[in-house]
Structure 1
Amino acid sequence: MSARKLVTVFLGLAMCGGLGCAQPEACRDGQVATPAAAPRHPVAGHHLRAHAHNDYEHERPLLDALDHHFYSVEADLFLNEGKLTVSHLNLPWDARRSLEQLYLEPLQARVDERGSVHGDGLPFTLWLDLKQGGRELVDTLHAVLEKYPMLTRIDGDTVQPGPVTVVLTGDAQGKRDFVSRYPQRRAVRDSNDYSPEDPPADSAWGYYALSWGDYLESSGTGQLDAAQRARLACIVENAHARGRKVRFFGAPNHPDAWRVALEHGVDFLGADELQALDSFLEGAP
């Protein structure tokens, strides 16, 4: 287990008094959800759901994920010296880690050349994990995203899909400030909290990014017992019924976790090891 994951586990135990927290509600009263397996796309297969967690940590950010046929990547974002920097830590500004150089410019170039990121007309998702909030970051991010016509465009309640959709995750206040401050924008937000009573999706909030360990109890490889499978079925069914897509973070990087996610129709399957998920999806029915 990496040092980062050990710290995450320790903090989780500390916050729960070492005994584990009660799981949030997953199902409506009396709800019995039926798992709906993810269909295999006729062009992209199950790779349409492949998501690169902390993509910037790979040797070739973005490019390695594209070579493995991923349709979703995630980058952590700081504002440093007035510029948007991709990093897990707030490091000094380095142009080689700029959001535009690592992601926006190469994605726009591919869309200009091919019509879509992979040249197949299918959508691509760029998750930006806001590691801080604040007015300056929100304003800077809005100005930068406006430069890229490939991005999905939101104008009030109207959504004009583009080849690439930016989803803001991370800092709750920052992503809410972004969508409320700018009715005309090129990003939507997620929520890291789920309730079976959540309202329908709108042009601002269309995704969930949920902690696997907060909502599900699994084996070390991601296997779920019947009760936990029922919880997962409720979460996915309710999210889809309200027009939202679902991603889990912190899930085991293991075929058992990916398999159960596919069996329950989870929209994004995250991985740190790109080749491992690529190989799994190639063989998945």
Structure 2
Amino acid sequence: MKKILFLILCSFLVFQFSIAQERKSFKLHSHNDYLRKVPFWEAFGADCASIEADVILQDGELMVAHERATIKKERTLKSLYLAPIQKAKELSLVDEFGFHLMIDIKTEAYATLELLVKQLKEFEPMLYSPANQNGLKIIVSGNRPKVEDYNDYPSWILFDYQSRILNDQLPWGKIGMVSLNFRQFSVWNGEGSIVEREKEKLISFIQQVHNFGKPVRFWGTPDSQSAWKAFYDLGIDYINTDMPYEADQYLSNLDKNF
């Protein structure tokens, strides 16, 4: 029975994903994806371009949880994400990776990254590298090493830069995206329109990041149809949402009208 349900799920995802590839002028970030009923697969079915999992190092394992009190022994990074992504690849559901996996580290950066690198080596054939440009990129967020240490990590590990300080001295080759708290720019709650001066600040920052050839994401954003539309119009590269399916359906219909 489980095998039949899995095959039905795979067939549905192939259908959804093939439709998604015919359009898309937006990209979704599946925020706290691990909280969904079917982590990874729901985001993949909604064609999310960025999928986020919080990770805690505990007893020599990478557990997927926001805090230690919510850890469940069966919910590891490998079981919820790495193995399913590999399975999607083996089933030819994925040819070229149109998404990356964001790992939000909640424990000490260097020790957690040491184990992360070790575990990822098992999956290295499907990971991004100069020789595998279409591979899966891993973007490390949350607790990260010092910026000057970014280049010490393999090519398939990139970092989520979180600062308004942008200059040529940054190791841009190791930066996968730039993310900041939306509240640093605006108090907008998703109703009505963003105040013009706040919109100008957002546009200015987005352009600065784009000048370095990198995408932008904001967290702590309103999560509604009016917000998704506003962020679409602003040119925010990855629209942060806790409702990937609903956001995908709404923005896809907007796309059809453009």
**TM bucket, shorter chain:** 0.7 to 0.9
Long gaps (5+) in structure 2: 1-18
1:241 to 211, 220, 232: 211
Equivalent residue number for residue 279 of structure 1? 249
What secondary structure does 1:96 align onto?
A: coil
Give the aligned length: 236
Q: Are 2:142 and 1:170 aligned?
A: yes
Native 8 Å contact 2:110 2:144 kept in 1? no
The residue correspondences of 1:262-273 to structure 2 (distance < 5 A) are 262-273=232-243
% identity of equivalent residues: 24
Native 8 Å contact 2:20 2:47 kept in 1? no
Long gaps (5+) in structure 1: 1-40
Native 8 Å contact 2:102 2:138 kept in 1? yes
Q: Which has the higher helix share?
A: 2
Equivalent residue number for residue 112 of structure 2? 137
* CA displacement 1:110-145 (0-9 Å, x = unmatched): 1233272xx5x3521111001122432121011111
TM-score of the aligned structures, taking structure 1 as reference length: 0.74
Higher RCO (CA 8 Å, separation ≥ 6 residues)? 1
**Structure 1 residues 264 and 44: alpha-carbon distance in aligned structure 2, compared to 1, 3 A threshold:** farther
Equivalent residue number for residue 46 of structure 1? 24
Structure 1 residue 98: deviation in Å?
0.6
**Structure 1 residues 44 and 172: alpha-carbon distance in aligned structure 2, compared to 1, 3 A threshold:** farther
Native 8 Å contact 2:53 2:102 kept in 1? yes
Equivalent residue number for residue 181 of structure 1? 152
What secondary structure does 1:248 align onto?
A: strand
RMSD: 2.6
Determine the C-alpha separation between the residues in 1 that align with 2:230 and 2:239.
10
* CA displacement 1:51-110 (0-9 Å, x = unmatched): 210000011111111222223210001101010010011248644211011001111121
**Structure 1 residues 48 and 72: alpha-carbon distance in aligned structure 2, compared to 1, 3 A threshold:** farther
Matched to 2:64, the amino acid is V
**Structure 1 residues 160 and 52: alpha-carbon distance in aligned structure 2, compared to 1, 3 A threshold:** same
Determine the C-alpha separation between the residues in 2 that align with 1:42 and 1:68.
8
Equivalent residue number for residue 102 of structure 1? 80
